[in-house]
Structure 1
Amino acid sequence: MRILEPRSGSAVVGRFAVVVCLIALVNVGFMRAYGMSHLVTPLYYVLHAVFVGGPFVLFALFVIVFQIRLQRKLSFLSRKDGLTGLNNRRTFFEHTDSRRKECKDGVLLLVDADNFKRINDTYGHQTGDICLKRIAKTLRKNVRHDDIIGRVGGEEFAIFLRNTSLEQARAVGERLTKPIIFRPVNGSSVRDLRVTLSVGAAMNFADQPLDTLFARADQALYKAKADGRARLVVWTEQLPMH
């Protein structure tokens, strides 16, 4: 079906013309088979194909385009977070697990919006959604194209930095802890608002299970929250369990 999908106006015209020609050839073969080809002119075959078969051809092309676009939309929704457009939790885990096997070095960052519930309770969920979108935009801006970003919880995000040293990851994490300014919903009397992020980092190792990597990053994130938020904490064996 994807082969038949027209991707432009000229493609629609081209496919329509091809199918109409095929219909005309079928008509020619039918009339000859029954010995009636002498009763009509060549123009008849063309007009018959265009005005009788043409509407069905256009309808079929419309159905093909609709089905393929619907499949793409459903595929996107199954892999992406509907609000931010980032990978959803399942997709992030799958891509991260695959990427960890391809590269030796890497760092996982778990990122959580500080006092996000207060934003929702004070300014409403629409403003909360705007805040999450702004955070997602900030995360994209601060990582490379090959890094993996996902929304793994309500206000929790995750980033896997591939082929990255702990020092490089620390620099990225420190940038993310700077206040993020966003504008609330239209019509609000409140002007710009700010949100900060807490970040927990854990170094990836080849023989380390993915669950362990996430648990360590989460442990570091918990420590960042407990120490006052808006900061980066890197996991070490000395961190207490929570």
Structure 2
Amino acid sequence: MRYLEPRSVPALIARFVIAIALIALSNMSFARLHGPHDYNDPLYHIKHAIFVGGPFALFALFIMMFQVRLQRRLSILSRKDSLTGLNNRRTFLECASRRREDRTDGALLLLDADHFKRINDSYGHQAGDICLQSIAETLRRNVRRDDVVGRIGGEEFAIFLCDTTLEQAQIIGERLTKPISFHPTDQSTEAHLSVTLSIGAAVNSPDLSLNTMLANADQALYRAKAEGRARMVVWSDQLLTH
């Protein structure tokens, strides 16, 4: 399509002239093939429209279809994280906010890959990317359709669990702190590595903004890291006193 785009006024005029020439050539070809005709005959006008206008109409529809598909793809790319396919930060926050409007029960989990820098430093960034993709796949397998999952930056992920009690959130969180295995490269013959997640959780409350919940979950995550990693800590007022 980039070859069809006129990048200057002369290019626009040239494409316009070519289009007019093609229309004129189509008219001349149709008149020669059709022979004598009656302008009052509706069939003549139908055949003329199909022969002359048909190819241009199909071309215009093709352009429209291409544009719609391109816009859809750009929309997806703007809302998804390109590496993991999860929601990006902006989309996660938008979707989590909408879920909170519809439901009172829920929990926000903030997850961070433990010692992720060591993986990048020891095995390279490809291994780091594969590690993040493995984490993303693990998160997908452990949430429900209505839950919201996103990669909100670097090796940090977030989940908003809908209609979930604190006890249920703890069960899910404990499951996600188990080691996640992955290959350091795309070659399946390589030895397995594993990564764990530290999790900070905050229970949903209508009195709290989503940003406040994120801050609380982040503080709980910091405590989980300080206590040895690969664990989940739920935010409470007691964390403010330590």
* Shorter-chain TM-score tier: 0.7 to 0.9
Paired residues of 2:39 and 2:45 also in contact (CA < 8 A)? no
Are residues 1:89 and 2:89 paired? Answer: yes
Looking at structure 2, the residues matched to 186 and 140 of structure 1 have their Cα atoms a distance apart, in angstroms, of: 21
Task: Supply the RMSD in Å over aligned alpha carbons.
Answer: 2.5
- 2:229 alignment partner in structure 1: 229
Looking at structure 2, the residues matched to 128 and 241 of structure 1 have their Cα atoms a distance apart, in angstroms, of: 36
1:205 and 1:42, CA in 2 relative to 1: closer, same or farther beyond 3 A? closer
Amino acid at match of 1:169: A
Q: Which runs of 5+ in 1 are unaligned?
A: 1-26, 28-35
| Count of matched residue positions in the alignment of Structure 1 and Structure 2 | 209
- 1:220 alignment partner in structure 2: 220
- 1:70 alignment partner in structure 2: 70
Are residues 1:155 and 2:155 paired? Answer: yes
Amino acid at match of 2:168: Q
Looking at structure 2, the residues matched to 181 and 187 of structure 1 have their Cα atoms a distance apart, in angstroms, of: 14
Paired residues of 1:200 and 1:219 also in contact (CA < 8 A)? yes
Looking at structure 2, the residues matched to 199 and 148 of structure 1 have their Cα atoms a distance apart, in angstroms, of: 16
TM-score, normalised relative to structure 1: 0.79
1:53 and 1:155, CA in 2 relative to 1: closer, same or farther beyond 3 A? same
SS of the equivalent of 2:237 reads: coil
Looking at structure 1, the residues matched to 171 and 39 of structure 2 have their Cα atoms a distance apart, in angstroms, of: 83
Looking at structure 2, the residues matched to 87 and 39 of structure 1 have their Cα atoms a distance apart, in angstroms, of: 60
Q: Which runs of 5+ in 2 are unaligned?
A: 1-26, 28-35
Amino acid at match of 1:152: I
Structure 1, 121-130 or 51-60: larger mean CA deviation: 51-60
Looking at structure 2, the residues matched to 124 and 113 of structure 1 have their Cα atoms a distance apart, in angstroms, of: 16
Q: CA deviation at 1:48?
A: 3.6
1:113 and 1:201, CA in 2 relative to 1: closer, same or farther beyond 3 A? same
- 1:110 alignment partner in structure 2: 110
Looking at structure 2, the residues matched to 173 and 88 of structure 1 have their Cα atoms a distance apart, in angstroms, of: 21
Paired residues of 1:219 and 1:241 also in contact (CA < 8 A)? no
Looking at structure 2, the residues matched to 77 and 241 of structure 1 have their Cα atoms a distance apart, in angstroms, of: 42
TM-score, normalised relative to structure 2: 0.79
- 1:146 alignment partner in structure 2: 146
SS of the equivalent of 2:38 reads: helix
Amino acid at match of 1:216: N
1:44 and 1:66, CA in 2 relative to 1: closer, same or farther beyond 3 A? same
Paired residues of 2:177 and 2:230 also in contact (CA < 8 A)? yes
- 1:134 alignment partner in structure 2: 134
Q: CA deviation at 1:52?
A: 2.4
Amino acid at match of 1:141: R
Where do 1:42-61 residues align within 5 Å?
A: 45=45, 47-61=47-61
Looking at structure 2, the residues matched to 241 and 82 of structure 1 have their Cα atoms a distance apart, in angstroms, of: 40
Structure 1, 156-165 or 80-89: larger mean CA deviation: 80-89
Percentage identity across aligned positions? 65
- 1:38 alignment partner in structure 2: 38
Amino acid at match of 1:191: A
Paired residues of 2:86 and 2:151 also in contact (CA < 8 A)? yes
Amino acid at match of 1:65: M
Looking at structure 2, the residues matched to 190 and 116 of structure 1 have their Cα atoms a distance apart, in angstroms, of: 19
Where do 1:155-234 residues align within 5 Å?
A: 155-187=155-187, 190-234=190-234
